[in-house]
C-alpha cells in the first residue's frame, strides 16, 4: 500500500465513521517502533507504522486509523484530544475505535542473553547481553576467576 492509498483509506474511514472529512497529509513512517500510528499536532498529519498492516492486516490498520482520527477531529474542534480526556474516551467508544494497538513485534528481539560466563571456583553462572573482559572482573560471590563458556551469537 502506498502513501496515496493510505490517504484515500483514511479519508474514507473519516467520512464513514465520523461524518467529517480528513483534509491533511497521511503517510507511512517506518521509524515508528512502539506505536501503531501518531497524530501530529503541529501540521495535523497522521503517520502510520507500516508494520500494523504487515503483522496484523487491514482490520487492525483501520482500527489504528480510527484511533488517530479521534485525535485529529477532537483537536481540530478544540475539544479534549488526549488519551486521558473524557471527550476522547467517549469518541473512541462511539466510533468503536481501539484504545491501544496490538503489539507489533515480529519476534526479532532476543529474550535470552548472548554471553554466558562461569566462576571456576563456585560454578556461579553470569548471563550477559554485552561482552565483558574476564581479566578485569572476579566472581562477586567468592572472588574466583571468571571464564566465558558461551560466546555471543
What amino acid positions are annotated as catalytic residues?
68
Exposure pattern of 126-142 as b/e (b: 16+ CB <10 Å)?
A: beeeeeeeeeeeebeee
Taken as a whole, the chain contains a residue count of 153
Instruction: State how beta strands 46-48 and 26-28 pair.
Output: parallel
What whole-number distance in Å separates Cα of residue 26 and Cα of residue 44? 9
Grouping H, G, I as helix, E, B as strand and the rest as coil, residue 44 is coil
Cell numbers describing residue 58: 487491514
Amino acid at each position: 500500500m502506498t502513501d496515496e492509498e493510505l490517504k484515500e483509506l483514511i479519508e474514507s474511514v473519516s467520512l464513514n465513521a465520523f461524518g467529517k472529512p480528513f483534509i491533511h497529509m497521511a503517510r507511512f513512517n517506518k521509524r515508528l517502533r512502539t506505536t501503531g500510528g501518531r497524530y501530529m499536532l503541529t501540521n495535523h498529519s497522521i503517520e502510520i507504522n507500516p508494520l500494523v498492516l504487515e503483522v496484523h492486516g487491514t482490520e487492525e490498520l483501520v482500527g489504528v486509523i480510527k484511533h488517530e482520527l479521534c485525535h485529529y477531529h477532537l483537536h481540530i474542534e478544540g475539544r479534549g484530544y488526549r488519551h486521558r480526556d473524557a471527550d476522547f474516551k467517549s469518541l473512541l467508544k462511539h466510533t468503536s475505535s481501539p484504545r491501544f494497538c496490538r503489539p507489533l513485534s515480529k519476534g526479532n528481539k532476543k529474550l535470552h542473553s548472548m554471553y554466558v560466563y562461569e566462576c571456576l571456583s563456585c560454578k556461579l553462572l553470569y548471563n550477559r547481553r554485552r561482552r565483558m573482559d574476564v581479566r578485569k572482573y572476579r566472581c562477586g560471590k567468592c572472588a574466583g576467576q571468571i571464564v566465558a563458556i558461551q560466546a555471543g551469537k
